[in-house]
Amino acid sequence: MEVWFTERQTDAVTIGLKVKAVLWRERTPYQELAVVESEAYGRVLILDGAIQTTERDEYVYHEMIAQVPLAVHPHPRRVAVIGGGDGGAIREILRHPAVEEAHLIEIDERVVEVAQRFFPEIAIGLNDDRTHLHFTDGIAWAREARDFDVILVDSTDPVGPAEGLFTAEFYKTLYEALGPDGIMVAQSESPFLQPDLLRRVVQGVREHFPVTRVYLASVPTYPSGLWSFTWGSKRHEPEDLRELEAPWRAHLRYWTPEVHRAAFALPPFVKELVDG
Ligand code: SAM
């Protein structure tokens, strides 16, 4: 008998993965959490029926949410991830020797615990001495935060507790939590399937950040496969790359300086959403 996991990405679109085994299922105080072993993408972390990450394609998303701003910030010492309980963004942040503190602000402690058990290679940085775990709402945390160099918003889709992470008011809070060289990057969903949301994120970021840009990456298991990230910075342009010779960069599987620059080249249909 074949067993399939189907994510309903919109009312009219699904993605299906053939499942070898269901490894974990629970209802946390915040969401339904599951881990399945899929034939094509390895282990898959699922929250409320939506794929969060898979062993096979996780590096695309995690490298692109983290390496892009960290390659530009001149001295990324204090970095925070809001959401991101799987730990993939933290792993990427910790590759940078300049980073002294990596803060993870995750509302649901169970996501971290399950990621550590089932996705040790993704969650590897969560036990690092430089990592500080805060199990609280990212919105409340950000109101008190100050002098961060880079903040990443690695959230679930804008429903439930993540809804407030997609508002202009929240981007203002992030602006105030960042130092003068500060850069924020937020995952901003699919330009094909959630164009209105991408437009809303860009408008919200642009209200507060003088440099607002969008970049794209190809994440096969996310809706439509074409994923967007929205960049907001106080003064740095995304083209101002630094430290390109660092030897650890040879271990990356998606980010290169060329991919970094190319990711900001937008097809006209995305440009229209962003400029409109
Ligand atoms: N990369 C994934 C994606 O784009 O689908 C997101 C991964 S990560 C697992 C998302 C995390 O955001 C979840 O674990 C969820 O608990 C957390 N989250 C949602 N709302 C939050 C909030 N208000 N504050 C902190 N964490 C939040």
pLDDT recorded at residue 248: 87
Q: Is 108 in the pocket of ligand 1 (CB under 6 A)?
A: yes
pLDDT recorded at residue 100: 98
Q: Where in the chain is the domain with CATH 3.40.50.150?
A: 58-275
Q: Where in the chain is the domain with CATH 2.30.140.10?
A: 3-54
Q: What is the atom index within ligand 1 of the atom nearest the CA of 65?
A: 1
Q: What is the atom index within ligand 1 of the atom nearest the CA of 164?
A: 23
pLDDT recorded at residue 258: 94
pLDDT recorded at residue 242: 87
The CATH architecture annotation of domain 3-54 reads Roll (2.30)
pLDDT recorded at residue 109: 98
Topology of the domain comprising 58-275? Rossmann fold (3.40.50)
Q: Residue 134 in contact with residue 102, Cβ under 8 Å?
A: no
pLDDT recorded at residue 249: 87
Q: Is 142 in the pocket of ligand 1 (CB under 6 A)?
A: no
Buried b (16+ CB within 10 A) or exposed e, 104-133: bbbbbebbbebbbebbeebbebbeeeebeb
Cα four-point dihedral sign 157, 159, 162, 164: positive
> Which 3 state secondary structure label does DSSP give 67?
helix
Q: Is 33 in the pocket of ligand 1 (CB under 6 A)?
A: no
* Total residues found in the chain within this entry: 276
Using CA positions, which residue lies closest to atom 2 of ligand 1?
52
Q: Residue 228 in contact with residue 203, Cβ under 8 Å?
A: no
Residue with tokens 């070898």: 20
> Which 3 state secondary structure label does DSSP give 166?
helix
154 flagged as catalytic: yes
| Pairing mode of beta strands 211-218, 226-233 | antiparallel
Q: pLDDT truncated to tens, each residue of the chain (276 aa)?
A: 999 999 999 999 999 999 999 999 999 999 999 999 999 999 999 999 999 999 999 999 999 999 999 999 999 999 999 999 999 999 999 999 999 999 999 999 999 999 999 999 999 999 999 999 999 999 999 999 999 999 999 999 998 899 999 999 999 999 999 999 999 999 999 999 999 999 999 999 999 999 999 999 999 999 999 999 999 999 999 999 986 778 888 899 999 999 999 999 999 999 999 997
